Chains A and B, each alone.
Chain A
Amino acid sequence: MKRFFQCLSAAALAAVLAACSAPRDFTIYQETIGEFQTATDRTASVALDYVKGINTFERGFELKLLREDPERPLIISKLSEPILSPQAISARDRVFGVLKQYTQMLASLAASDASERWKAASERAKASADTLLTDLNANSGLLGDLPIADVTSPLKTISDTIATEIINARRAAALDAAIGKAAPAIQDISATLRDDLAFVVRQRDSVKQLEIAELTIRYAQAQETNNNAARLNTLTKIDQALQARTQSLSTLQGLVQTLDQFDAAHDALVRYATSDKSPQELSDLISIVRSYADSADEVFESFRKVAEARS
């Protein structure tokens, strides 16, 4: 019997500990938002690095062409004037900051327990007003000439107004209006950033394509002159260039896909903020954000490796 009670106590203790260690939905939500912000930071840092590198890359390519082709005319503006204006680059720089600010605000509003506190506080206020109202009516005879009706009527109005929870409705409308205003703007920004990244992808890939085409011509020249050593040397270079192209394309296209997932994660956050926040809705949000975070991690790692290889 004693052993039975020991087992029972151990089971009860385990159950209590499990209940204590199980994170509340709010904690899970906060973690999810943290993942979303980290993923956006990483996507932004990689995307901005590539976008900011457009000018340097283009200038470097022009210098390479000038070195390789003695006949190439030197157009000084191609070296002295950046193709992208500093204002346009700063606009991209700022835009990620604004996106982050907006999602943080949306997230904190969705996580806020203010609406629950409002509900509890308004219920207490209504109960308190009703008690006062009942007591005033019950004792109206005792209070003689006091203008009880002047008090009870507004008190009844206050009680009824609280019961309708109009502020909750106002808050929901304000939230919907704010999201409604931001959503198209976020889509515009996302589309522009996608165009920017597509530019980066093609800018880098086009140079790789030219390099490979040039090597194939050199290979044909080596064949024509029966220079086997030059032919084999060129073949090795072709192989390396093809591998480098595949790796570079994979990183850059991964970045464009991460931007698609940012859109999906943002949509999920908006849906959650305006929903009843059921466990299913939270679960949907978590899985979409996690997929975005995983993708952002992969791109960030891949980018880090490319950057390390460059330096």
Chain B
Amino acid sequence: MPDVKANKALRDGLYKCFEEMVQKAMMPDIPIPQRQALLNRAQELRTQWVELEAARFNNAAAGISAAQTKILESVTDLRRATKDLEDAVKIVEKATRVFGLLDKLLKKAVKFAAPLI
């Protein structure tokens, strides 16, 4: 694997050189031995380009893992937000029942107390 940390521009530039070399190897006005030499050089350039791309692919795994962690945290946050809301609905429904019950008790107590006053 190459030691240099190749950026995208360098990788793209190398691939462009490869394509230019292939185009030249196809030119009918160039003598056959030279065309063969250009083709061989294009193959070498391709090999170098593949090595740079493979290095990028392997190095990107760490970045992907970090991004994955962020997304998983986000999934947990979303799940919690949903659960919080569901819990809140349950609490409010219970509170409504308690208020209603207290109101009924109050009315019964008032009915009971009224003749005594």
Query: Contact residues of A with B, CB < 8 Å?
Result: 54, 58, 65, 83-85, 87-88, 91-92, 94-95, 98-99, 101-102, 105-106, 108-109, 112, 114-115, 117-118, 121-122, 124-125, 128-129, 131-132, 135-136, 139, 142-143, 158, 162, 167, 170-171, 174-175, 177-179, 181-182, 184-186, 188-189, 192, 195-196, 199, 202-203, 206, 209-210, 212-214, 216-217, 220-221, 224
Q: Quote the shortest CB–CB distance from A24 to chain B (angstroms).
A: 21
Task: Given A98-B68, A112-B82, A125-B96, decide whether A139 and B110 contact each other with a Cβ distance below 8 A.
Answer: yes
User: Is B4's CB within 8 Å of the partner chain A?
Assistant: no
Report whether A129 and B99 are in contact in the complex, using a CB–CB cutoff of 8 Å: yes
Q: How far is the CA of A245 from the CA of B82 in the complex (A)?
A: 50
Main secondary structure of the interface of A (DSSP, over half): helix
User: Is B64's CB within 8 Å of the partner chain A?
Assistant: yes
Q: In the complex, what residues of A have CB within 8 A of residue B86's CB? A: 114
Task: Given A108-B82, A128-B96, decide whether A118 and B39 contact each other with a Cβ distance below 8 A.
Answer: no
- Identify the closest chain B residue to A115 (Cβ): B85
Task: Given A121-B92, A142-B117, A217-B35, decide whether A83 and B50 contact each other with a Cβ distance below 8 A.
Answer: yes
Return the contact of B100 from the options A99, A128, A181, A182 (Cβ within 8 A). A128
Report whether B39 and A214 are in contact in the complex, using a CB–CB cutoff of 8 Å: yes
Q: Quote the shortest CB–CB distance from A93 to chain B (angstroms).
A: 10
Q: How far is the CA of A136 from the CA of B106 in the complex (A)?
A: 8
Q: In the complex, what residues of A have CB within 8 A of residue B49's CB? A: 202, 206
Q: How far is the CA of A129 from the CA of B102 in the complex (A)?
A: 10
Interface size on B, residues (CB 8 A): 63
Q: In the complex, what residues of B have CB within 8 A of residue A206's CB? A: 15, 18, 46, 49
Report whether A105 and B78 are in contact in the complex, using a CB–CB cutoff of 8 Å: yes
Q: In the complex, what residues of A have CB within 8 A of residue B114's CB? A: 142
Interface residues in B9-64 (C-beta closer than 8 Å to A): 15, 18-19, 22, 25-26, 28, 32, 35-36, 39, 42-43, 46, 49-51, 53-54, 56-58, 60-61, 63-64
Q: In the complex, what residues of A have CB within 8 A of residue B79's CB? A: 105
User: Is B6's CB within 8 Å of the partner chain A?
Assistant: no
Report whether B74 and A83 are in contact in the complex, using a CB–CB cutoff of 8 Å: no
- Identify the closest chain B residue to A130 (Cβ): B99
Query: Contact residues of B with A, CB < 8 Å?
Result: 8, 15, 18-19, 22, 25-26, 28, 32, 35-36, 39, 42-43, 46, 49-51, 53-54, 56-58, 60-61, 63-68, 70-75, 77-82, 84-86, 88-89, 92-93, 95-96, 99-100, 102-103, 106-107, 109-110, 113-114, 117
Q: In the complex, what residues of B have CB within 8 A of residue A185's CB? A: 66-68, 70-71, 74
Report whether B74 and A181 are in contact in the complex, using a CB–CB cutoff of 8 Å: yes
Report whether B71 and A217 are in contact in the complex, using a CB–CB cutoff of 8 Å: no
- Inter-chain pairs besides A128-B95, A171-B81, A185-B74, 12 sampled, C-beta below 8 Å: A54-B54, A54-B57, A102-B71, A105-B78, A109-B82, A162-B92, A175-B78, A182-B75, A189-B67, A189-B71, A192-B63, A220-B35
- A–B complex contacts, Cβ < 8 Å, 15 sampled: A83-B50, A83-B51, A92-B64, A101-B72, A128-B95, A129-B95, A167-B88, A171-B81, A178-B78, A178-B81, A181-B70, A192-B64, A202-B49, A214-B39, A221-B32
Report whether A132 and B106 are in contact in the complex, using a CB–CB cutoff of 8 Å: yes
Q: How far is the CA of A209 from the CA of B70 in the complex (A)?
A: 41
Q: In the complex, what residues of A have CB within 8 A of residue B96's CB? A: 121, 124-125, 128
